[in-house]
Amino acid sequence: MDPVSFEMFNQTDENIPFSGDMLRCLIDLVHEHEKRNFLHVEVVFVNDMEILEMNRRYLGHDHVTDIITFPYHENDDPVEGTLFCCAPQIRRQSEEIGVTFDTEVLRIVIHGLLHLVGYDDETEAQRNHMHSLENKYIRLYLDY
């Protein structure tokens, strides 16, 4: 795999338990198992108002979500894109489902990477498949 560039930004007051090394590892795992090359990935942690504005502007949704993924590549080109992750929503979700904030951040970033390589979650079947892949990549990451 050619060298992948990546950047991370935290535009919130949250202490985000996620590092560039973690992102690099996840990209490597997804590359290895999904057979997709990556060129550039940005992960940006934002607050509720920022994700709400992006949802309204780009998706026509009027609610806060945990992540919005913007791919910049086409078809089989090397993968590049930006993951906008809503830190406060991720924290709320972690508390609701009874997992650590660290684990939920990991799951959401994996979810975004899966969107970048072409997975979708519009139907219940697609959501279930993505959820099983998220679990797979969490296990792989923890065993890495």
Compute the average pLDDT of residues 20-30: 96
Could you give the CA distance from residue 100 to residue 90 in angstroms, rounded to a whole number?
A: 10
Compute the average pLDDT of residues 114-143: 97
pLDDT of residue 3: 78
Residue 76: is its pLDDT beyond 90?
no
32-65 residue pLDDT tens: 999 999 999 999 999 999 999 999 999 999 999 9
**What is the CB neighbour count within 10 angstroms for residue 19?**
10
Domains in the chain and their CATH numbers?
A: 5-143 (3.40.390.30)
Amino acid type, 70: F
DSSP 36-94: --EEEEEEEEE-HHHHHHHIIIII---S--SEEEEE---TTSPEEEEEEEEHHHHHHHH
Compute the average pLDDT of residues 97-101: 97
Mean pLDDT, the chain, whole residue set: 96
60-75 residue pLDDT tens: 999 999 999 999 999 8
Contact 54, 82 (CB under 8 A): no
Reported confidence tier of residue 109, pLDDT bands at 50, 70, 90: very high
